[in-house]
Amino acid sequence: MFGLPTKEKVESIFYNAAVVIGPDGELLGEYRKVHLKGEERLSFRPGYRFSVFDTAFGTIGVMIGWDLAFPEAARVLVLQGAEILCLPAAYEEPYQREWRAFCTARAAENGAFLLAANRIGEEPSRRYFGESGIYAPDGEPLSLIRDDEEGHPPPGYAFTRINTDDVRRYREEMQLIMARSPASYSPIVKKY
């Protein structure tokens, strides 16, 4: 007779994730949110890598919510080939100013389109302000959904026509990717 470790229950692991679905309904892949904020850490395990997906529209990189606050997240996606950054989010009040700044910065500093969809609505302790939009590679908002006259975020859609050739042109003009100096960035990868 000998002893073996046993487990009565299988641990459930939950991730805050987004899936990428192709035009025919096929699953192209999923992204698991890397940067968890506050109480999210109590419910979810963080992801550990960023992924890009080749589509008929261009190469898409996915971030979720608070990932937007970390310039490294968008830059990693762009270095992996992303031309379009997609961001589902649930930014709440009072962080409208940060949301606007991050959206503009992530698009412009990477020369990528940013499609940012932010939640609207209220919960007992939070109000989500919306302000979803599409940003050009230079950070210019191309289409935004803003509050109505009474200050309420309207439901709706942001539409615009994008051309991924604009990504190439802007990156060549600004030289944001090719002028990098990775050998100088070693402090970025230190935990603290």
pLDDT surpasses 90 at 139: yes
Span 75-112, pLDDT tens digits? 999 999 999 999 999 999 999 999 999 999 999 999 99
Cβ atoms within 10 Å, residue 123 = 10
Query: According to the model, what pLDDT value does residue 157 have?
Result: 82
Q: pLDDT above 70 covers what percent of the chain?
A: 90
* Contact criterion met (CB below 8 Å) for 174 and 156: no
* Contact criterion met (CB below 8 Å) for 129 and 152: no
Query: According to the model, what pLDDT value does residue 6 have?
Result: 43
Bigger pLDDT: 187 vs 108: 108
pLDDT surpasses 60 at 4: no
Q: What is the longest distance spanned by two Cα atoms in the chain? A: 76
Three-class DSSP category at 85: strand
Span 24-47, pLDDT tens digits? 999 999 999 999 999 899 999 999
Mean pLDDT of the chain: 90
Give the span between the Cα atoms of 116 and 132, in whole angstroms: 5
- Confidence band, pLDDT 50/70/90 cuts, at residue 152: low
Give the span between the Cα atoms of 163 and 4, in whole angstroms: 60
pLDDT surpasses 90 at 1: no
pTM of the predicted protein model: 0.90
* Token pair for 123: 């919960």
Give the span between the Cα atoms of 181 and 138, in whole angstroms: 21
pLDDT surpasses 50 at 7: no
Calculate mean pLDDT across residues 121-139: 94
Please enumerate in sequence order all residues whose Cβ is within 8 A of that of 73, keeping only pairs 6 or more positions apart, or say none.
Answer: 34, 35, 50, 63, 67
pLDDT surpasses 50 at 11: yes
Question: What dotted CATH number matches 26-189?
Answer: 3.60.110.10
